[in-house]
A and B are shown apart, each in its own frame.
Chain A
Amino acid sequence: MSQVETGKTLLEAKALSRHFIVKGDGGFFSKRKSIAAVEGADVALRAGKILAVVGESGSGKSVLARLLSRIVSPTSGELVLNGETVDLKTQRDLAYASQVQLVLQDPFAAMNPVRRVGHSLERPLSIHGVPEDEISARAHEILESVSLTPPQQFLDRYPHELSGGQLQRINIARALAVKPKVLLADEPISMLDVSVRLGILNLLRSLCDDKNLAIMYITHDIASARYIADEVVVMYAGQIVERSNDTSLINSPQHPYTQLLIASVPDPTNLGAEVVKAPSGGAAAFNLNGCRFSPRCSQALAMCATNEPPMVEVAPGQHAKCWLHASDAQRASVTISNKSKNEMESKNV
């Protein structure tokens, strides 16, 4: 199989959005609201590189993974696979599945509990056209590539007979069975014991390097993102709020949310540091008009509540979606348009 050159963009999302219609919380007769689970996401997955998507629950990171794997269809935006725009009106087909795969968070839930591991591993091989007589050999090969030996021992077992770490390796193996170019991993280690997490991260890193895969690693744990990622993206309330071409945003975060995130991580080497306090959030505190983080932001400006900030370059290769870093010209244009909007509104009164 010919290797793709390192760094080539394999899967790209352009302004990807996914809205859900939900009932408002005023009871039975309340109006339906549209909630943007993901909005305007631009990500590029490159061969041989790991992109980390960092965010908390509700940030939209898992929905983004499902959008990229086409398990969920977007309400707007574009997907480009291998340079060709994907036709989003048709159903996801086998060809796409053989290129883009997804590994889920809970290793036990992701395997059919009443079938043996061998079955779950052989199905993808069979679906994607591996000849009947080669299936067993290929299954053994894949298990060896995720360091599970002797392979037959694992194939014969039921999921509940194995540990979380072993099962997650099998899940990764299953995703790799179809030889995809892109691997999306949705919080692959959060449900595992601490001592086995690094093993899985090291495995992902070596698979990425050996097979020149493009990997998207989704997590809420920014320290693990720093450990394996080449590029980092931070999400909040469905939007990407900061990104960098390397891990520099972790050392020098520019967006107030990223700063809050990093300051909140327990850091044993820095005991007694000033505790950052942000007003208690909760899902209801998103501001949908301006910057979504503004209700919790200690550095918010007046315009943050009413105008959505642009993505601004804050350092070479690092961008943040924040008015604090916008140029004077950008801010000025907004102030002007705000003023004229206010004038128009007062005239209509």
Chain B
Amino acid sequence: MKHLQLPKSLKVRIGLAGLGMFILLTIIGPWIAPYDPNYTGFAQNASPSWNHLLGTTIQGQDVLSQLLIGCRSTMVVSFIAGFLATIISIVIGVASGYVGGKADEGLSVLSNVFLAIPGLPLLIVLNSYLPAGQQTNPLVIGSVIALTGWAWGARVLRAQTLSLRDRDFVEAARIIGEKRVRIMFGEIGPNLLPILTSSLLFTILYAVGVYTTLAFLGLTNVSTWNWGTMLYWAQSNNAGLAGEWWWVGPPGIMIALIGTSLALINFGIDEFINPRLRAGGVSAKLRRASGAPRRPRLGLTPVLHKSTEAGSR
């Protein structure tokens, strides 16, 4: 994309900043973590202090270090899961939408089956079949999570493809002799970017939630650090009951923050990707300044006289 501009909306900028911070932590987390998260030599159950910004666990481990190291694992697995799921949903959704006929019917049945099967139980089952060594491999866990998360995106993309398929520019591409696959991914594809990106963002969020839940239930390897594992240990030691908020709180807050960032980015995605919308809509600020009502009513076009003050009654 030749002309990349920063989106104008404040919401999106905050979201991007948030995401950026998490990506940064993923990369440098282990370096800036002050201590080894496994080291159990510190004072136990200490509340936050200068030495331990987030206090320590009941076993005397530093919470902050666990959080920072855990960030990497959670983020990597979630992003892998999100991207894989999105790729699967593109291939299945766009193909079934464009090709139609029997292929569409078959793929739709497949999507519906995966959509209907409850994700978490399926994951638990799949996970239990993984060889012990593979359970810590982020790629493997990511794939397993992706397998349960692609169906919704596929349905959405199929619906969108169906509606785009009948547009004139697709017919024009067929007329000049463009091949089917190139039409799907070269012509229809770019028009799907907004919905695709939205789907990707939410699938990543879904993966964060699911992975954390799996870990919280103790179903993943409890010796790799991620936010869910922290919650697992906190829960099994009744940290909540004991009022150790510095142990229970932070993982949950991190998840909430990453979720919020992704959601905020989603607001501005349309504008960023669709060149037509980049010109910007009506600025609420300018409208307020000119004195027009905040929500002009239909059938009551505002009247602003340059000489007088605010608009219609």
Contact = CB atoms under 8 A, between A and B. Distances in A.
A–B proximity contact (CB within 8 A): yes
A123 B176 contact: yes
Closest 8 CB pairs of A and B: A109-B168, A97-B177, A124-B176, A110-B168, A114-B190, A112-B169, A110-B172, A160-B276
A71 B186 CA distance: 20
Contacts, number: 68
B179 to A, nearest CB: 8
B105 interface: no
A221 B190 CA distance: 36
Nearest to B276: A160
Contacts of B173: 112, 123
Nearest to B164: A112
A98 B178 CA distance: 12
B191 A102 contact: no
Name the prevailing secondary structure of the A interface residues.
loop
B191 A112 contact: yes
A294 interface: no
A112 B168 CA distance: 9
A152 to B, nearest CB: 14
A247 interface: no
A217 to B, nearest CB: 17
Contacts of A158: 275-276
Contact of A69 (B168, B175, B191): B175
A178 B176 contact: yes
A178 B177 contact: yes
B59 to A, nearest CB: 54
Contacts of A115: 187, 190
Contacts of B168: 104-106, 109-110
25 contacts: A69-B175, A71-B171, A94-B177, A97-B176, A97-B177, A104-B172, A105-B168, A109-B169, A110-B168, A111-B172, A112-B190, A112-B191, A113-B169, A113-B191, A114-B191, A114-B273, A114-B275, A115-B187, A115-B190, A123-B173, A124-B176, A127-B178, A128-B177, A158-B275, A178-B176
Given A98-B177, A124-B177, A114 B172 contact: no
A46 interface: no
Please indicate which of the listed interface residues A69, A112, A171 has the most CB atoms of chain B within 10 Å of its own CB: A112
B190 A174 contact: no
Please indicate which of the listed interface residues B167, B169, B178, B193 has the most CB atoms of chain A within 10 Å of its own CB: B169
Nearest to B169: A112
B288 interface: no
B305 interface: no
A219 interface: no
B287 interface: no
Nearest to A119: B186
